[in-house]
């Protein structure tokens, strides 16, 4: 296997919205920047197909009081995104949103409709509309172009799989070329993790098809796992993440639907709207994302998104926005099958997205390991969060390098070779289990033992089975080619993440949100305002409660 060595001031791991924005800003400030991306930045990541709403505060639209905006915004689903991150961070985010929107507009991502800012979706009728509609279909090519203009070195088709550290600071990372027989050692003064969210930990909505996920199947929590292994802290990993969308057709894009969620008798399931209303949508599932699953289990489902009665203007609006939100394949399917949202109610379901598990950071995006930053879905969902903190972390990362320099990595060759030995082992086995077998076994364990209902006995049994699976995976998993090798490394990351979920779920002796402990049905209010932190001390995992960094 060949080894290549690249050096930079700032390494952005992942070229999604967050990674590209971080790279753009750091390069603008004079840093030598590399963006290392598992796929191709032009279309990779959750946002690769487009997005159409951006959490944004505009004083001329919302009034001069940003705190009033934040207070109302926190009554919507956005609150869920920000839980456990601290109000200092929320304020830093919201204060920067309009600047980013103006930048994006200048760069060629349209943010106005007929010359005006237009806010719609994810809102209570009559309440604050905090999401700006924007035409984000081409956002990735536009951001890629901006990064290239600033001489960011974009290294596509490289999966970063471990961090390098020196004396308590991050010093670089190790990546593997996804197409050729090459390992790349990156030496860097600051590393910004922007590898997105987590899929493939829990079964997809059609379990036979591992890749039928609402987001990209290659988003496997790599960043947070690297951070954890290198000694950084994670928080609230055991909390499950749910989403909703058309049954069996896994897509995000809930905000663009216009209609009313109704039961089979045609009754609205929520109290918010009784007819299609495009400015607000039907916010019912945001109050409880499990509502579709709960309805079916209680014998009251299925539930339908019913667009009948919408105006022609509503319909044209939806058809305009769907493709911007990456929903073109769904539109193609509807066309092919003769499904017309104006006439045919569309069945919806609850999706099990995976686990939360954020890298613990302060309001500047700094993790607990010096020189390490985390952005975007490593912390909270949403394109606004990814772009704003990408930008701010680009600045913080450059400051760090200015003060601390690039550590320089002596003995790097041996470290990289040690990591490469796992790659070699997986690739050289002549027989064994392929990654799909291990991934399916993992999903089964997560679903059966750390799923919607949890108890001490179930969690302990699940942790035991997972430990057996981990041992076996290291002993017998094999990669027949490059594609399988990358999937194997992802599955190993997911197994580690599963372990932290079990550990956190066992230690969280309460019921809160998506974490339902049948043996501890009460919410322990002493934990309000606290985060549940997981980290490794001397190679051993520990968990602890800590007050949120307000």
Ligand X SMILES: Cc1cc2nc3c(=O)[nH]c(=O)nc-3n(C[C@H](O)[C@H](O)[C@H](O)COP(=O)(O)OP(=O)(O)OC[C@H]3O[C@@H](n4cnc5c(N)ncnc54)[C@H](O)[C@@H]3O)c2cc1C
Which residues here bind ligand X, judged by CB under 6 A?
A: 13-19, 36-39, 44-47, 49, 51-53, 159-160, 194-196, 214-215, 218-219, 222, 251-253, 325-326, 376-377, 381-384, 386
User: Nearest approach, Cβ of 214 to ligand X (angstroms)?
Assistant: 6
d(CA 381, CA 322): 19
Angle between helices 482-507 and 412-428 (to 10 degrees): 100
User: Nearest approach, Cβ of 16 to ligand X (angstroms)?
Assistant: 2
* Among the listed residues 85, 231, 233, the one whose alpha carbon sits nearest the alpha carbon of residue 530: 85
Instruction: Give the nearer residue to ligand X in terms of CB position, either 376 or 462.
Output: 376
User: CA triplet 443, 175, 362: central angle to 5 degrees?
Assistant: 75
Q: Is the distance from CB of 384 to CB of 136 less than 8 angstroms?
A: no
User: Nearest approach, Cβ of 35 to ligand X (angstroms)?
Assistant: 9
Instruction: Give the nearer residue to ligand X in terms of CB position, either 209 or 464.
Output: 209
Q: Is the distance from CB of 36 to CB of 12 less than 8 angstroms?
A: yes
Instruction: Give the nearer residue to ligand X in terms of CB position, either 51 or 505.
Output: 51
Torsion of Cα atoms, 17 then 19 then 23 then 25, to 10°: 60
Q: Is the distance from CB of 356 to CB of 240 less than 8 angstroms?
A: yes
User: Nearest approach, Cβ of 121 to ligand X (angstroms)?
Assistant: 9
Half-sphere exposure of 485 (CA within 13 A, CB side): 27
d(CA 509, CA 522): 9
User: Nearest approach, Cβ of 543 to ligand X (angstroms)?
Assistant: 25
Phi/psi for 232 (5° steps) reads: -80, 165
User: Nearest approach, Cβ of 140 to ligand X (angstroms)?
Assistant: 8
User: Nearest approach, Cβ of 455 to ligand X (angstroms)?
Assistant: 32
Instruction: Give the nearer residue to ligand X in terms of CB position, either 51 or 185.
Output: 51
User: Nearest approach, Cβ of 413 to ligand X (angstroms)?
Assistant: 21
d(CA 256, CA 317): 9
Q: Which residue has the tokens 């990372």?
A: 173
End-to-end CA distance of the chain: 48
d(CA 133, CA 256): 10
| Cβ contacts of 423 within 8 Å, gap of 6 or more | 1, 176, 183, 485, 489
Instruction: Give the nearer residue to ligand X in terms of CB position, either 160 or 463.
Output: 160
CB neighbourhood size of 288 (10 A): 15
Q: Which residue has the tokens 């089979």?
A: 264
User: Nearest approach, Cβ of 439 to ligand X (angstroms)?
Assistant: 16
Instruction: Give the nearer residue to ligand X in terms of CB position, either 139 or 514.
Output: 139
Instruction: Give the nearer residue to ligand X in terms of CB position, either 186 or 295.
Output: 186
Instruction: Give the nearer residue to ligand X in terms of CB position, either 218 or 443.
Output: 218
User: Nearest approach, Cβ of 488 to ligand X (angstroms)?
Assistant: 13
Instruction: Give the nearer residue to ligand X in terms of CB position, either 171 or 174.
Output: 174
Instruction: Give the nearer residue to ligand X in terms of CB position, either 17 or 479.
Output: 17
Instruction: Give the nearer residue to ligand X in terms of CB position, either 195 or 361.
Output: 195
d(CA 445, CA 443): 5
User: Nearest approach, Cβ of 386 to ligand X (angstroms)?
Assistant: 3
User: Nearest approach, Cβ of 201 to ligand X (angstroms)?
Assistant: 14
Burial class (CB in 10 A: 0-12, 13-18, 19+), 87: middle
3-class SS letters over 440-470: HHHHHHHHHHCCCCECHHHHHHHHHHHHHHH
Instruction: Give the nearer residue to ligand X in terms of CB position, either 35 or 310.
Output: 35
Instruction: Give the nearer residue to ligand X in terms of CB position, either 4 or 448.
Output: 4
Phi/psi for 515 (5° steps) reads: -95, 100
454 forms bridges with which residues in the sheet?
517
Phi/psi for 84 (5° steps) reads: 80, 5
User: Nearest approach, Cβ of 198 to ligand X (angstroms)?
Assistant: 10
Helical H segments across 325-379, by residue range? 328-337
């Amino acid at each position: 296997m060949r080894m290549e060595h690249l050096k930079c001031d700032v390494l952005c791991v992942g070229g999604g919205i967050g990674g590209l924005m971080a790279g753009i800003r750091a390069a603008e400030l004079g840093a030598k920047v590399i963006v290392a991306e598992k796929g191709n930045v032009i279309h990779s990541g959750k946002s690769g197909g487009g997005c159409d709403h951006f959490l944004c505060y505009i004083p001329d639209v919302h009034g001069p009081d940003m705190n009033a905006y934040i207070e109302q915004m926190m009554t919507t689903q956005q609150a869920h995104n920000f839980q456990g991150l601290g109000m200092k961070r929320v304020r830093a985010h919201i204060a920067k949103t309009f600047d980013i929107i103006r930048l994006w507009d200048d760069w060629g991502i349209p943010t106005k409709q007929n010359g005006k800012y237009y806010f719609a979706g994810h809102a209570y009728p009559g309440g604050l509309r905090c999401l700006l509609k924007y035409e984000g279909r081409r956002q990735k090519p536009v951001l890629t172009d901006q990064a290239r203009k600033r001489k960011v070195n974009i290294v596509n088709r490289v999966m970063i799989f471990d961090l390098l550290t020196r004396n308590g600071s991050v010093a670089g990372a190790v990546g593997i070329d996804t197409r050729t027989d090459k390992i790349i050692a990156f030496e860097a003064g600051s590393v910004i993790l922007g590898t997105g969210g987590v899929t493939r930990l829990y079964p997809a909505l059609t379990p036979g098809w591992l890749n039928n996920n609402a987001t990209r199947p290659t988003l496997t929590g790599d960043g947070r796992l690297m951070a954890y292994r290198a000694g950084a802290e994670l928080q609230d990993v055991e909390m499950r993440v749910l989403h909703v969308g058309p049954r069996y057709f896994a897509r995000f894009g809930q905000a663009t639907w216009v209609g009313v969620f109704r039961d089979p008798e045609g009754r609205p399931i929520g109290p918010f709207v009784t007819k299609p209303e495009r400015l607000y949508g039907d916010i019912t599932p945001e109050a409880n994302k499990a509502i579709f699953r709960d309805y079916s289990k209680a014998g009251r489902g299925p539930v339908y998104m019913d667009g009948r009665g919408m105006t022609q203007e509503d319909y044209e609006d939806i058809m305009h926005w769907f493709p911007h939100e990456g929903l073109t394949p769904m539109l193609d399917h509807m066309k092919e099958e003769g499904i017309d949202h104006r006439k045919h109610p569309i069945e919806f379901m609850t999706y099990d997205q995976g686990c939360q598990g954020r890298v613990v950071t302060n309001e500047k995006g700094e993790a607990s390991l010096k020189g390490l930053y985390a952005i975007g879905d490593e912390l909270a969902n949403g394109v606004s969060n990814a772009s704003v903190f990408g930008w701010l972390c680009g600045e913080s990362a450059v400051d760090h390098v200015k003060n601390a320099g690039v550590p320089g990595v002596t003995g790097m060759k041996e470290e990289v070779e040690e990591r490469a030995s796992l790659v070699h082992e997986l690739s050289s086995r002549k027989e064994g289990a392929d990654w799909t077998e291990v991934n399916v076994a993992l999903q089964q364990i997560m679903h059966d033992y750390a799923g919607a209902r949890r108890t001490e006995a179930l969690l302990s049994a699940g942790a035991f089975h997972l430990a057996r699976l981990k041992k076996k995976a290291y002993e017998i998993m094999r990669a027949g080619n490059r594609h399988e090798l990358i999937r194997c490394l992802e599955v190993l990351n997911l197994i580690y993440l599963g372990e932290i979920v079990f550990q956190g779920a066992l230690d969280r002796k309460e019921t809160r949100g998506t974490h339902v402990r049948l043996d501890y049905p009460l919410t322990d209010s002493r934990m309000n305002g606290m985060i549940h932190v997981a980290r490794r001390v001397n190679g051993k995992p520990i968990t602890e409660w800590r007050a949120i960094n307000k």
